[in-house]
Structure 1
Amino acid sequence: MLPTGDRVTVLPNGNASIEPAEGREDIGFVTPQAFDGSDELIAVPFDMVDDIEAGLEDPRRYNVTRLLGAGQTDAGAAPASALDDRAYTGLLPDPTGESGTVADEAQKFSVILRDRTGGVPDDSWAMWATRDGSDFGGFAIDADGVGSEAFMPGDYIIVTQFRRAPTDTERGELVLGITPVTVGDGQGQLLVDATTAQPVSAEVERDDAVYVGAPISYGALSRKDESFGLAASAVAEAGSDIYLMPEPDLPEFELSLMYQPTFLSPEGSADPYTYNLALGELDGFPADTEYAFTDDELAQVETHLHDLGAAVRGHTCDYGDFVERQTGIGLCRRVPVAFPSTHTMLYTAEPGISWEHSAKGGIYAEGTQRIVDGFVDDRTGVVYEPGRTERTVVKGPFSAGAPVVARSADEAGGHLIGGLLYPGFSVGGESLAQVGFDGTMSLSRDGRLVSETEGVQRFVMDMPAEPGRYTLAAESVFSGTTSVFAAASSQSWSFDVGEMPEEGYEYLDLPVVSLGIEGAEGGWVDGDEPVEVTLQAMAGAPYAPVEVESMTFEVSYDDGRTWRNVAIERDGGTAAGVLCPPRRAEFVSVRMTAVDTAGTEVAHTTIRSFGLA
């Protein structure tokens, strides 16, 4: 939560959503990209920009990435010791860390901002960079809409954002621009006149669609040096219109625009729908930024949202950007949904646009958007074609997910092992993790226990420094109320480690055997026919297939009291088999083992992997 009460939620796939606090729905946000090109998420409400530039508000309390990295979820209450220790220039960290001095030949240069009425904007932000990327900085915009800096003679690029707030009778406006200037040729000021800007808007076919706002990103990436570029983003809320200043003459840069409006069906609609649009262009600003679409020009995805045995509330969050490279800041609009339900999702359907889908359902920790009992699903790299199609969210079956585990050396010279485990995970056309497991973790070396801890989905334990063969084991029980699947899980890996790398950090590729069944929905499979299963050894993040030397597969129809071996046909790390469940079986539990080509042994059991309908 930001000091203003606005809430920023970072999703498991790295994207994020912003929810204004009550009464702040029309403020909007500046989300500038750091001078050093890092992916840090900085989210500043427009009404806080002036206070930050004036030194009255701490910009470090709006660097979401750094705050979460320090374990802080309430930016206003975070102690000073937990804040970013870098110097800031306005809203952004100073990449040089130097205060700098003004040379005698420096000249005063002013930026003057005027909105579409000719008046001074309510809130403004501007930054600059030398055209060769050797220096960066920001302007402090005063009450007259003017910001001044002392510049050495040379070529510069100036990025601006400013807004006029909406009123009870008039819509607000958000104006964005990039402008090149030359200092030393008699040009001592730049007037950014919003009356020359073109509108950026979108219209959709359905007359009752409700526009709820849009993130928009724009930038200039050097063609000679891809490590240098200027980019900025903002979030326009529903009460404001967006305008873009004319395309600048910057031939040595690749210009980009990404505009991501969202429209929702009216509240309480019997046929809920969402328009998620990703509109823009690489290598130049679009000639026409007033977009209009019929439904037939979009992907119309009838989305079936299943539960796991208990009806829950949740949300979806869909992010679209260019396939070639991401230009946006990764902000998506959270859309409330019910599990189970059917929801029509409409998406920009172009070969150059890729979508990332996130869905959550279950019980949230009080006052947060963090699921503590439920499930989280992520899909990436989805490219749509125009037309009607279907998608299922929450499929199953469930087995162990590939863990993210690393060992490290701490500052005191000790060694640790830690990471993320997924006791209940589905990869059947999804990456869905169940949340709500309790249990214990243990680490053994050469058969002797060396460390153990409570908690399995996130864990850290002491680990000896010595090389050797270790066994990491987890015993988990699903303690939530939202699922009848993955009721219990056992996982173990035996692996070899050598000396700690010089950098003091090493990821451990610990494999699992995933389980796939075509046609699974909500964890259930048709039990009237033989069930064809696919097994795939996987490891890493993101998950990738791995080769194995051996693999076994067993099933139980009585929650693990008795087990039956299943004959499989294996080809490398992939195998297939057929189950013939007893007539009265209700759930199927699974047990897999494998040995990969590095000699790592894995064994895991999932009680109630899927149900038989």
Structure 2
Amino acid sequence: MHRRHRSRSSRRGPGWPRPVSFRGLPRGYGLATRIVGADFGKLFTADLGEEVTAEQGTLVSEVRSVWAEPGADGTFYGSPYEYDIVQFVRGRFLTGYRHTVRPGELATVVNRNHDVTPDKQQGYMHNFGFPPEGGSAMSGPIRYDVPSTRTIYYSAKGVVWDNRWETSGARQTQFWYDDTTWQPGRKYVVDWQRGPAGPKFNPRTYVARAGNTIMLNIPPFGDDSGHTGYSLLDGGRVGFYRDGVQLAEIPKYFYDASGPVPSAESTYRLEYSVDRTTGFNASTKISGAWTFKSGEVGTDKWTYLPLASFSFTPQVDLANSAPAGRPFMVPVSLKAQPGSAASRTRRVSVEVSYDEGATWRKAALIPTGTDTWLATLNHPDKGSVSVRAHAERADGGTVDYTVIRAYNLR
């Protein structure tokens, strides 16, 4: 069961005392129960009481079903489509409930599932449908091959969706995307695990301050659709510094921390590096750093700090590969953390490597808008492409980002 309630916690690092944990609970008493079965044939429900009034609280009844195409083995493995149907009834328990789902109620979402390994993987996806007021939700994940393309039809009227996309096994990866609302009758295309991985600022990836406490969480495997991403690793770390003095050292697999800092404005450096060379062939090593200034702020809300992240979005296939032996244009953008005070970019540079970082050469950049460019590359006849970027901001902050084997050549 998945609850649409965010719990932010911290990891302890040298130099910071025991971290603060942030938890929240709704007012009053919450209760969530589920009845689960293979079909509706022997499922009967009835409301034995009166309708719940506003003074008494809230009651939301839910009917949830998942539909797909069975295979010869009787399972739904590899079904090319999936229907995720959710309906809510408020104020009473389900009694005599009937509903015919019509195509106009649904959103069509084509999911393109990209691979970052040299061979086929097994994937699955949790789809949690919530009422807009929040609560709890369940999913019925169906397994499929990665790479692949699958279509999911979602109930779209009055439903908020959270998604968790995963591959399983010795090369596991995981992606999250929250609070999606689809429009009934519309068609969408969503790419998972596509393109060079890196931190992507969103509600799960942030660097913020409240009073004299800094909170951060920077998972480094976000994809170019903006999904928060995680992966199995060979090694990794996150380091956090104030005026050159280390405040926290966060070990492999952990990317979050919080702790007290002095009120005076100071210069901070946040750096990260991860290595997943074993078993993976795309985004095998990722590293980067931010420098920024911060001083005391109010305690009534989080203040998101003025950081930005690079995003490279080459046109790649489901294997995260692009054509070899030809000139190739790669869109590059620098995206400020949502809610932060954005600063102008004074200087930016991009370099490319065709030998996994052994040598680098400068890439020409063509401006296409505010903090967006096209990088001009010349792909060799085989191998892979690695990129690194550096930016200097008008407020004195900097951004550095490197990804080895950002994508492969075919």
Taking structure 1 as the reference length, what is the TM-score of the superposition? Answer: 0.52
Question: Residue 433 of structure 1 corresponds to which residue in structure 2?
Answer: 229
Look up the match of 1:291: 99
Match of residue 208, structure 2, among 403, 406, 412? 406
1:381 and 2:180 aligned: yes
Question: Could you tell me which of 372, 377, 380 is aligned with 1:582?
Answer: 380
Tell me the residue number matched to 1:357. 163
What letter is aligned with 1:347? Y
Amino acid at match of 2:42: R
How has the CA–CA distance of structure 1 residues 533 and 547 changed in structure 2, closer, same or farther, with 3 Å as cutoff? farther
* Aligned with residue 261 of structure 1, among 60, 65, 77: 65
Query: 1:165 Cα shift?
Result: 11
Letter in 2 for 1:345: I
The structure-2 alpha-carbon separation of the partners of 1:605 and 1:329, relative to structure 1 and needing over 3 Å to count, comes to: same
Quick one: which amino acid aligns to residue 535 of structure 1?
V
Which residue among 99, 113, 120 is the counterpart of 1:305? 113
Preserved contact between residue 390 and residue 400 of structure 2 (Cα < 8 Å): yes
Q: Deviations over 1:357-381 (max 9, x none)?
A: 33122349xxxxxxx9413142653
- The residue type paired with residue 75 of structure 2 is G
> Aligned to 2:380, what secondary structure does the other structure show?
coil
Mapping 1:372-521, distance limit 5 Å:
373-378=172-177, 380-384=179-183, 386=185, 391-402=190-201, 403-407=205-209, 417-427=214-224, 429-437=225-233, 438-446=235-243, 448-455=244-251, 457-460=254-257, 464-479=261-276, 481=278, 483-502=280-299, 506-521=303-318
- Once the two structures are superposed, the pairs formed by residues 103-118 of structure 1 within 5 Å of their partners are none
CA distance in 2, matches of 1:555, 1:85: 45
Higher helix share: 1
How much does 1:333 deviate? 0.8
Pair 1:349–1:451, CA change in 2 (3 A): closer
Code of the aligned partner of 1:563: W
Q: Distance in 1 between matches of 2:290 and 2:36?
A: 57
Any idea what the Cα deviations from partners look like across 1:93-130, whole Å, max 9, x if unmatched? 7xxxxxxxxxxxxxxxxxxxxxxxxxxxxxxx9xxxxx
Offset of residue 335 of structure 1: 0.6
Give, as a single letter, the amino acid of the residue that structure 2 aligns with 1:348.
S
Structure-2 residue corresponding to 1:232:
59
1:523: Cα distance to partner? 2.4
Q: Secondary structure of 1:451's match? A: strand
Q: Distance in 1 between matches of 2:91 and 2:165?
A: 32
The one of 154, 160, 164 equivalent to 1:347 is 154
Counterparts in 2 of 1:64-143, with a 5 A limit? 92=29
**For residues 362 and 293 of structure 1, what CA distance do their matches in structure 2 show?**
33
The percentage of counterpart residues that share the same residue type is: 18
Per-residue deviation, residues 407-461 of structure 1 (Å, max 9, x unmatched): 467xxxxx6644212333222x351513234333333444x33334142642437
Which structure is higher in RCO with an 8 Å CA cutoff and minimum separation 6?
2
Among candidates 134, 139, 145, match of residue 333 of structure 1? 139
Q: How far apart are residue 276 of structure 1 and its match?
A: 0.6
Q: How many Å apart are 1:384 and its aligned residue?
A: 4.8
Cα distance in 2 for partners of 1:335, 1:442 equals: 36
Instruction: Give the paired residue count.
Output: 384
3-state DSSP of counterpart to 2:237: strand
Alpha-carbon distance in structure 2 between the residues aligned to 1:583 and 1:506: 48
C-alpha contact (below 8 Å) 1:549/1:572 kept by paired residues: no
Deviation, 1:297, is 7.1
Match of 1:604 in 2: 401
Note if 1:551 corresponds to 2:359. Answer: no
Q: Could you say if the C-alpha distance between residues 231 and 518 of structure 1 is closer, same or farther in structure 2, counting changes exceeding 3 Å? A: farther
Distance (Å, rounded) in 2 between the aligned partners of 1:334 and 1:286: 21
1:525 to 313, 322, 327: 322
Question: Could you tell me how far 1:85 is from its partner in structure 2?
Answer: 12
* 1:561 aligns with one of 353, 358, 362: 358
Q: Which amino acid aligns with 1:173?
A: F
Which ranges of structure 2 fall in alignment gaps of 5 or more residues?
12-20
